[in-house]
Structure 1
Amino acid sequence: MKSILITGCNRGIGLELVKQLVFHKNAPPFILATVRQPEKAKELNDLAQKNRNVHILKIDLKDLNAYKEFSNDVSNILGGEGLNVLINNAGISAKFTRLNLVKAEQLQEHFLVNTIAPLMLTKALMPLIKKAAASNSSVPPSVSRGVIVNMSSILGSIASNTTGGLYPYRTSKSALNAATRSIGVEVKDDGIIAISLHPGWVKTDMGGSNAPLTVEQSVSDIIKTLFSLEAKHNGQFIQHDGKDLPW
């Protein structure tokens, strides 16, 4: 893996992915980390100052019109090379649980951030991902070619939903899962892998303090799973440790 782009790196799982990848034995030469406000991402800036392979890119993922220019910026950083791995990590979660509390505005914002943004960003970066996959066509599908990871959640699983509620988050993640499956079908012949990934219930600002997994544990598992991906995983829904999950 020569390059990886991760969205939502100001804190939580995104920031920890950058932290652990920097010190990984197979650390990629290009780690591209996106944030909305780089000036407020102190830890990320510290990492970039100490590690030349970390590149910070500013983007508001709600601004869909910015994606074309953003993809050009990515291409310039990569110096004409393709992009091996895209992790659509950025997301939001409302705390509203029941039908009588749901507002249309919440649904709209969740679908924009959790479903539309990752899908359209993948579309914008697909030429770079295909370029990386084609340039390494002699190796099987893996992070050495092209991988798209959509950060999902078990709460997006329809089969596992036994408690109801959480409409904005559940529905937007279910839709993201459907998009992942379709992307997997489209990119299969290009030697690219697309998966939906549940990071586990993690102690982050989104997951809360009662979560059983630390962000360090979750990300350690995610990176191991990332490097173990192969063709059979394309279009699948798996959790941080590689276990298959029901749709």
Structure 2
Amino acid sequence: MRSVLVTGSNRGLGLAIVGRMLTSKSPPGHVFATCRRPEQATELQNLASCHSNLHILPFDVTDFESYGNLVDRVSDAVKDDGLNVLFNNAGIPGKYSRISYFKASHLIETFTVNTAAPIMLTKAFVPLLKQASRSNKHLPMGTSRAAVVNMSSILGSIGLNKDGGHYLYRCSKSALNAATKSFSVDLKSSGILVVSLHPGWVKTDMGGPNAPMTTDRASQHIAQLLCSLSEEHNGGFYSYDGSPLQW
């Protein structure tokens, strides 16, 4: 892939994914890493000092009015090549898991970040994704041509829900999965692949210290999966190891 944008890149898995791409054997010519406060993203700034192809862009996914400016900045860098991969990684866990505790405001906040933001950001970047697909029309569907990767969760699977609870997070990710499916249908004719991805249970602020997998290991799996995505994966929901998940 020539270019990739990863939201929520200041820490955790987003930061690890950016680092993995920058240090790969064939790194993208442009890696766009967004975060709300770049001046506080020390590790990201350290990566930028070593990799001239890393662009750190200030961006709050809840500021919908700023989406056009973000697209313009990416467009100025990629020129006629377009954007190969949009990785909607930014998300929040939801403040409460049980029905007795959460309020409508908590539900709205979680849906805004986890569902509305990736949907609207994908919509905003469709022109650049189509441009990338046209520029690489000799290639099959995949991340080397044009793709949208939505960071979902196994908790968003309705079929695998045996424990209940986690209303905010589950519902927001299930809704994101529904959007993934619709985008995959609507954008297929343009050669743009769209998938939902479960990253595994990872040691992050969201996953907690008891998670069995490090961000480094998770990013390795994800990088391998991204390279293997093809048309047969379009519109699917996959675990970090490539295994399909129930909706």
Same fold (TM > 0.5): yes
User: Is the contact made by 1:133 and 1:190 (CA closer than 8 Å) also made in structure 2?
Assistant: yes
For residues 79-119 of structure 1, give each alpha carbon's deviation from its aligned partner in whole angstroms, at most 9, with x where no partner exists: 33200001000000124121111211110000000000000
Q: In the alignment, residue 145 of structure 2 is paired with which amino acid?
A: R
1:17 aligns with 2:17: yes
Name the structure 2 match of 1:47: 47
User: Is the contact made by 1:95 and 1:166 (CA closer than 8 Å) also made in structure 2?
Assistant: no
Name the structure 1 match of 2:141: 141
Query: 3-state SS of the aligned residue for 2:114?
Result: helix
CA distance in 2, matches of 1:191, 1:79: 19
Name the structure 1 match of 2:221: 221
Give me the TM-score of the superposition, normalised by structure 1: 0.98
For residues 132-154 of structure 1, give each alpha carbon's deviation from its aligned partner in whole angstroms, at most 9, with x where no partner exists: 00111111111111010000000
For residues 178-199 of structure 1, give each alpha carbon's deviation from its aligned partner in whole angstroms, at most 9, with x where no partner exists: 0000000011111111000000
Name the structure 2 match of 1:187: 187
For residues 153-174 of structure 1, give each alpha carbon's deviation from its aligned partner in whole angstroms, at most 9, with x where no partner exists: 0000000011111111110000
Residue identity (%): 51
Q: In the alignment, residue 63 of structure 2 is paired with which amino acid?
A: D
Count how many residue pairs are aligned between Structure 1 and Structure 2: 247
CA distance in 2, matches of 1:80, 1:65: 24
Give me the TM-score of the superposition, normalised by structure 2: 0.98
1:61 aligns with 2:26: no
Name the structure 2 match of 1:239: 239
1:199 aligns with 2:215: no
Q: In the alignment, residue 104 of structure 2 is paired with which amino acid?
A: A
Unaligned runs of 5+ in 1: none
Query: 3-state SS of the aligned residue for 2:174?
Result: helix
Query: Pairwise mapping of residues 57-206 of structure 1 onto structure 2 (< 5 A)?
Result: 57-206=57-206
Which portions of structure 1, spanning 4 or more consecutive aligned residues, are displaced by more than 2 angstroms?
Answer: none
